[in-house]
Every structure is written in C-alpha cells, then in structure tokens.
Structure 1
Amino acid sequence: MIKVNNVVKTFDGFTALDGLTMTAEKGSIYGLVGPNGAGKSTILRHIMGIYRPDSGSVLVDGEQVYENPAVKAKIAAIPDELYYFNSASTRDMMRFYRGMYPNFDMKRYEALAEAFPEVDEKQPIRRLSKGMQKQSAFRLALCCNPEVLVLDEPVDGLDPVMRRQVWTLLMGDVAQRGTTVLVSSHNLRELEDVCDHVGILSHGKVLLERSLTDLQDNVVKLQLAFADGELPELPKDLNVLHTSQIGRVYTLIVRGNPAEIKTRMAVCAPILMEALPLTLEEIFIYELGGEDYAVRDIVL
C-alpha cells in the first residue's frame, strides 16, 4: 500500500505540493489526473524516492521510501522522459536491472520478447523510435516483478494495438501478483477503462480521491425538456455544477445520487428527463470548474 500524508514540497519559493494526501491500496490501479502543473510528476518522484519531502511522509508498506534501498527494490518506474545509459541496448539494461532488482525474472524477460516482437534488444535504445523505447521500458520494468509500478504518461507514443497489449500485461500483474500500479496520464478515456481509484489533483493538493464507481455514482448529467420550453426554478438545495441549453433541451450537471436527483426533479414536471453517467473526462472538467480551472465554461 502507498500512503502519502500531508506532503509539502517547494522549489525556490514555489509550492509544488501543498499538503498532498492520498492512499493507493495494494493490488489496485490508481490514476492520478490533473492539469499541467498540478503536481502529478512531483508526487510520483516522491513515491519513487527521488525527492525528499519538506514535510509530511511517503510510505510504501508502512516504510519511508526516501533513502531506503529495501523499499526501492520493490518499486519500478517508467517516467515520461526515458533515460538510459548512452549506447545501452535493451539487453545491456536487462543486465543492469538484473543486478539492481532481486526479483528480476530472466525467464519472463525472454518470454516477453513475444509481446514486443518489433524491438531489437541489441539495438541502442536511444536509436529506437519513441514507441519502441516505451516497449523496451515496459519489458524491462515488468521483468523486475515490482510490488509497486509507477507510470508517468506510460503509453504515450504507442499505437492502439500495443497500448492494449501493455494494459493487458499490467492488469494481468495486478490480478495475479497483486501489483499496485500508480499511473499519471492525460488520456482520461484510457484511465477510465483500467483504473480502480482516481485522485484529482489541483494546485499541489488532491481535490477528490474515490473509486471510479463512486465518482460516477455521485455526479449525474440530466437532460431535460419542459412543455413551455423554459427551465423552471430548481429545488434550492440541488447541487448544480453546470447548466447549458441546446434548443429546448437543458443539460444539468448535478452532484448527488442519480436516483434521488431524478425524484427531486420530477416535481418540475419535465416532458423529457434522462440521466446519463459522466465520463472521467467530464468529471475532471466539472470538478476543476469549481477551482476556476480554465475550461470551466466548456459545454458538453
């Protein structure tokens, strides 16, 4: 389990993390989402043990990560910007990883050649395309058999077939080995398909942290039409995040239980009322709309 408690981190007077708190359960895929500059990469580097928090704690299985080789041996990572030794091939890096990670699985390394058949393991990684470099990175990271896998924009540069291949491998490790996967990505549609839990970051804090099911069950998109074409006065305690209109159809984004909201709205006598679940992307936009995020006036 990953537990981040009230972490603060500043760089030259700029507060990158401002009391960030989050928890990722063992054997789950936790998605970190947020606008650029929200602190996603910074907290990932704390969890990898690269940064020391100014205050607060970062624990993996109850132990501090920073300067703790035993804990770091359980963690593998694929950063957004890959870095390997100059002229090192995939096979060269395999030998390096095998010396660093006690659980490195050589049999799996050989078997995964079939999953990434286009990657020449003897070719210097820096000479490979971006997509091929990512495939090489996944092959190496998965063979470390980590308990925690930290991914920053992990499938950027991969084609759709290879993206599916990678996610299938990751979800297999979560199901079979109990691997905890922490992933930051701007591809919210993809995260929606794979994540158990989601944390929405803004200004160095976690605004919202819930299971994806709970998130979608707590916000609803209502499409409504009324006989006179006008939106009536709504119940005063209805938590409406956004209202828009196209023709005679009004769209309301409302926080709360969908069934209860429909019951409350029935008193307004709509001639049309349909409740639709929000996508993770829509939840992201409207939750950050409350934080004066730049896209708060988007009409969906």
Structure 2
Amino acid sequence: MIKVDGLTKKFDGFTALSQISCTIPHGCIYGMVGSNGAGKSTFLRLVTGIYRPDSGKVEIDGEPVYENPAKKAEIAYVPDELFFLNGASMDRMAKLYESIYPAFNRNRYGYLTETFGLNPKKPISNFSKGMKRQAAIILALSAHPKYLFFDETFDGLDPVMRNLVKSLICEDVLERQATAIITSHSLRELEDTCDQLALLHQGGLVLESDIQNLKTSLFKVQVAFHETFNEKLFAGIELLHYSKRGSVANLIVRGQQEETVAQIAALHPVLLDVLPLTLEEVFTYEMEALGYFFDPSGYGFVEEKEVRA
C-alpha cells in the first residue's frame, strides 16, 4: 500500500505540490490526470524516492522510500523523459535491470521483446520515439516489480500498442497483485483501465474517486415543461451546470440519481430524460464548479476568466 500524507515539494520558491494526501491500495490501477505543471511528474518522483519531500511523507508498505534501496528494488518507473545508457541496446539495458531487480524475468523479457517486435540487439538510439517508450515499458514489466509507475504512459504509442500496454498492465495487476500509477493527459486512455482516478491542478489534489462512483455521482437530465420555467424551479437539487435552449433545459446534477429523478418527476414535466456522462464530461463540470474550465481537446485546464476573455 502507498500512503501519502501532506506531501509538499517546492523548487526555487515555486510550489509544485501542496499538501497532497492519498492512499493507494494493493492491486489497484491509480490514474492521475492534470494540466502541464499540475504536479503529476513531481508526485511520481516523490513516490519513487527520486525527490525528498520538503514536508509530509511517502510510505510504501509502511516504509519511507527516499534513500531506501530495498524498497526501490520493488519499484519500476517509466518517466516521461526516457533515459538509456549511451549506445545501449535493449539487451544491454536488460543486463543492467537484472543487476538491480532481483525478480527480473528473462523469459518475460524475451516474450515481450518478441511481442512488441523490437530488435533487442539494435541500439535504442536508433529507435523511433514510440519504440523507445515500448523498450522502457518492456524493461519495467520484465522486472516483475510490486509497484509500476508510468508517466505519460501512452505518449508516442499508436492505438494498437496502447491497447497492448493497457492489457499487460492489467495482467500484472490481476495476476501478481501489482500496483500501478499511471499519469496521462488523456482521460479516454484512463477511463477503461484505472480503478481510481485523481485530478491534480496547480499542485493540489482537486478530486479523487473510484471510476464507478465518479461516473454515477454526476449525470445529465433533460427536462421540459408546458409552462415557462427557470433554474429556480430546481431548488434543493445540486446543480453543477444549467442551460436552456427553447423549452428544454439541460441539468448537470450531483447526487443520488433515483432521488433526483423522483423530485423532478413530481413537478410533472412533459419531458424527462436521464443521460450518462463520459469521464471527460464529469471532469469538465467538476472543474467548472471549482472555477476552472477543462478543455477536452487537449489544452488542459485554464482559469474560467481566461476562457471568457
């Protein structure tokens, strides 16, 4: 289990992370999303023991990670900016990993290299961007660690390779009860993979929930009445968003769906439809409720006043 309590990290006066607290259980795929500079990479470098926290603590299985070689031998980390030894092939990197990770599995390394279709004797410097990420993922998975950390996991991978990587991560979690943390800018990539999802913004943990609760606690309602109405009609219902076009209103509601539908039905609408939200829509409205706007096109989070300018 990973336990993070009050984690804070600053760089030259800039607060990259502020008072982050969370608990990540064994056998979980924990997704983390956020804009550039939100603190995702800093979080991973603290959890893996690369950085020392300025305050707060990180413990894995009850032990601190920083300056703890035994615990680090149970962790495989694929950073956003990949690093390989100069001129090294995958085989040479595999020998290095084998010397670090006691559980490194040569058979799995051979199987994964063949599955991905990479030449293990070819210099990695000659690989494409996507192939380099594949090589890093192969080495991490071959180490058979208890903890797998991936920063921008799917960057540079084509759709076929993305699906392959997802299936391999899920396989490790299900069969070995490994724990994985995955960061990404793409909610679509995490929606069908992760058990829990966290949203970082400006160094803070804005939202954390398991996927199912996150998607069921918010829903869209389309409603219409014969008579003229406005937002005040829905007093007592927690609305994150209200808009009206013609006689039909769209409501984004947080709460118990059955209770909310019964409450609106008691008003005798002529139209009442409940629609599910995608994960991107859930985060869009959660961020709007906090005064920020999430741009699903990939530009990340910006302050609402900037959007309106």
TM-score (norm 2): 0.91
Amino acid at match of 1:52: R
Aligned pair in 2 of structure 1 residues 282, 65: CA closer, same or farther (>3 Å)? same
Who is 2:161 aligned against?
A: 162
Who is 1:221 aligned against?
A: 220
Who is 1:176 aligned against?
A: 175
Separation in 2, partners of 1:82, 1:257 = 44
What is the count of residue pairs matched by the alignment? Answer: 297
Who is 2:63 aligned against?
A: 63
Amino acid at match of 2:112: L
Separation in 2, partners of 1:193, 1:76 = 22
Separation in 2, partners of 1:127, 1:102 = 29
Who is 1:205 aligned against?
A: 204
Separation in 1, partners of 2:270, 2:125 = 61
SS at match of 2:84: coil
Separation in 1, partners of 2:164, 2:136 = 14
**Structure 1 position 269, deviation (Å):** 2.2
Who is 2:109 aligned against?
A: 109
Separation in 1, partners of 2:86, 2:143 = 21
Separation in 2, partners of 1:284, 1:34 = 10
Unaligned runs of 5+ in 2: 295-303
SS at match of 2:232: coil
SS at match of 1:145: coil
SS at match of 1:113: helix
Who is 1:78 aligned against?
A: 78
SS at match of 2:103: coil
Who is 1:4 aligned against?
A: 4
Once structures 1 and 2 are overlaid, which stretch shifts more, 186-195 or 281-290? 281-290
Contact 1:45 1:51 in 2 (8 A): yes
Alignment of 1:147 with 2:146, yes or no, is yes
Who is 2:195 aligned against?
A: 196
1:274-285 maps to which residues of 2 (within 5 A)?
Answer: 274-285=273-284
Separation in 1, partners of 2:292, 2:86 = 41
**Structure 1 position 271, deviation (Å):** 1.5
Contact 1:21 1:205 in 2 (8 A): no
SS at match of 2:234: coil
Who is 1:37 aligned against?
A: 37
Once structures 1 and 2 are overlaid, which stretch shifts more, 195-204 or 98-107? 195-204
Who is 2:290 aligned against?
A: 291
Once structures 1 and 2 are overlaid, which stretch shifts more, 228-237 or 9-18? 228-237
4+ aligned runs moved over 6 Å, structure 1: none
Identity %: 48
Amino acid at match of 1:66: Y
Contact 1:30 1:196 in 2 (8 A): yes
**Structure 1 position 265, deviation (Å):** 1.4
**Structure 1 position 230, deviation (Å):** 4.1
**Structure 1 position 181, deviation (Å):** 0.6
SS at match of 1:154: coil
Separation in 1, partners of 2:70, 2:231 = 62
Contact 1:115 1:165 in 2 (8 A): no
TM-score (norm 1): 0.94
**Structure 1 position 9, deviation (Å):** 0.9
Separation in 2, partners of 1:157, 1:20 = 29
**Structure 1 position 198, deviation (Å):** 0.9
Amino acid at match of 2:200: L
Amino acid at match of 1:151: F
Alignment of 1:129 with 2:118, yes or no, is no
Amino acid at match of 2:90: T
Deviations 1:163-204 (A, max 9, x none): 111111111111000010100111101211011011112222
Contact 2:32 2:184 in 1 (8 A): yes
Who is 2:301 aligned against?
A: none
Contact 1:22 1:199 in 2 (8 A): no
Deviations 1:214-271 (A, max 9, x none): 1112111112222246446333221111112344432111111111111111133222
CA RMSD after TM alignment: 1.6
Contact 1:232 1:268 in 2 (8 A): no
**Structure 1 position 94, deviation (Å):** 0.5
Aligned pair in 2 of structure 1 residues 246, 120: CA closer, same or farther (>3 Å)? farther
Aligned pair in 2 of structure 1 residues 232, 211: CA closer, same or farther (>3 Å)? closer
Separation in 2, partners of 1:135, 1:160 = 13
Contact 2:284 2:293 in 1 (8 A): no
